[in-house]
Structure 1
Amino acid sequence: MQQETPTTPTEARVKNKRRISPFWLLPFIALLIAGWLVYNNVQERGTTVTIDFQSAAGIVAGRTPVRYQGVEVGTVQKISLSKDLRSIVVEASIKSDLEDSLREGTQFWLVTPKASLAGVSGLDALVGGNYIA
């Protein structure tokens, strides 16, 4: 048995499949997650308030919390000297859901542990460190 080769040339049929490769799904999901994280970060950043103190003993940028009635509502972002070098300027970021309760002239104070003959105050600052209330 001999195989015969056809005398007429055969043509290949090429079909263009225009589908998106499933490998593009992973970068798309990563992009969605990154977008969600950026959006969340912007929403949680909140309002920046500037507070003047005479002393910044125990305040650490990025670590010292701002508390309201025992609940952490913000964090100290930056500490600097005032232009006249007489006070310490602290910039704190307050959560965005408390933005409406902030007013010009709101008073803040630094809570530190103190012991005297009258008693002990600020024990929570002894364990967790100083904080701004």
Structure 2
Amino acid sequence: MLESMKAEPLHLCHRLDKETTGVMVLARSKEAAEKIRLLFKTRQVEKIYWAIVLGDPDPVEGIVEIPIVEKEVQSHQSHYKMTLAPNYRLCPEDGKVMKIRKNRNAERAVTRYRRLASASACSLLELQPITGD
């Protein structure tokens, strides 16, 4: 496609987390791409995402901290995905919060959130990962 438009090839600098689609950072030159990659590698890039969610968070801003772990997913082709590995769950009998055994392979995952707007049964959230790449 770029050849027919007589455009120079773009250089991939960064893509959103593995198994996620939709966001890539591209550069027009190899030199710029290398500088941008270094910024991501040294965590000098502030990542902010927007998400539309069902419902209205209470409180409207805060921090979510739920460990994540890589688990095998069975489908037509076996593969791995990151999934939540919470340290607490609700007891089905009485609804009380109970601590569960930590998964040794779980990684810390912390995200700051803030509601930007809400309408009907949905809210627009701003998400800022604190941990992770």
Q: Which structure has more helix as a fraction of its residues?
A: 1
State whether TM-score is above 0.5: no
- Calculate the TM-score normalised by the size of structure 1: 0.22
Q: Which structure has more strand as a fraction of its residues?
A: 2
